[in-house]
Amino acid sequence: MNVLLIGPPGSGKGTQGERLAQRLGLRHIAAGDLLRAEVAAGSSLGREARQYMDRGELVPDELIIDLLMPVVIKAGQDGGYLLDGFPRSVAQAYEARRLAQQEGVGADAVIYLDAPRDELVERILARAKVEGRADDTPDVVRTRLAVFDEATAPLVDYYRGRGLLHVVNAARPADEVTAGILSVLGLDDDAIDA
Ligand code: AP5
C-alpha cells in the first residue's frame, strides 16, 4: 500500500507517519527529515535547500523531486510507502504521479490531517522550546502556514477529485488520530494486531 499524508505544519504528519509506517510495515519517507539530513551533511543540495527552509518557503520543485522520487519509487517497489510532506503543491503532485505511475507505484490513498490554526501554532511553539528547530520561530511559522494555504491546501481538492482523499480530525490525542487513519483506510486496530 502507498499512502500520502498531507496537512499543515504541526498537524502531526511526522508523528503519524512514523506510527503508521511501523504498524503497516511501510517505509516512512519524511520530506522535511530528508532535507534536514542534507542540510546537516552540508551537501550542495542541503546548502541550497537551507535558504528556503530557514525562511519557511518551499524548496524548488526540481530539487525536492530529485531528492525524493528515487526513494519513493524504491520503497513502492519494496512493499509500500508512507510519504509525509510531499507533494506540497499541485505541480509537485502532477510530476510525482507521472514518475510513480511509470514504475507502477502510484498512491492508493491520501490522508489530510485537519486541525485548527491555534492548535497548530501551540504545538509548534511548544516543540520550539524543546527541540529548537530553526524554522519553528513565530515569524517563520507564520510564513509556513501562509505557504501551506497558498501552495498546499489546493491538494485537498485535487486528491478529492481523484477519489483518493480521506480527511481525518487531527485535533485529538495522537492515538485517536492513528485509529482514525486506520479506520478510514479500512484497517481496524484488531486486524493489524492479528
Ligand atoms: P517539514 O519538516 O515537513 O515541516 P512541516 O510541514 O512544517 O511540518 P512539521 O514537521 O512542523 O509538523 P508535522 O505535521 O510533521 O507534525 P509533527 O508530527 O512534527 O518541512 C520543513 C521544510 O522543508 C518546509 O518548510 C520546506 O521548506 C521544506 N519542504 C519539506 N517538504 C517540501 C516539499 N515537498 N516541497 C518543498 N519544500 C519542502 O508534530 C508537531 C508537534 O506536535 C510535535 O511536537 C508533536 O510531538 C506534536 N504533536 C503531534 N501530534 C500531536 C497530537 N495529536 N496532539 C498533540 N501534540 C501532537
pLDDT tens-digit series, residues 68-122: 999 999 999 999 999 999 999 999 999 999 999 999 999 999 999 999 999 999 9
Alpha helix locations (H) across the chain?
Answer: 13-24, 31-41, 44-55, 61-77, 90-102, 117-131, 138-147, 154-161, 174-184, 189-193
pTM, full prediction = 0.96
Distance 120 CA to ligand 1 centre (A): 10
pLDDT of amino acid 193 = 44
129 is catalytic: no
Q: Does the CB atom of residue 7 touch ligand 1 within 6 A?
A: yes
Nearest CA to ligand 1 atom 46: 15
Given 74, 133, 160, 172, which residue is catalytic? 133
* Upstream peptide bond of 138 is cis (omega within 30 degrees of 0): no
d(CA 15, CA 100) in angstroms, rounded, equals 25
Among 110, 91, 88, CA closest to 35: 88
Q: Does the CB atom of residue 9 touch ligand 1 within 6 A?
A: yes
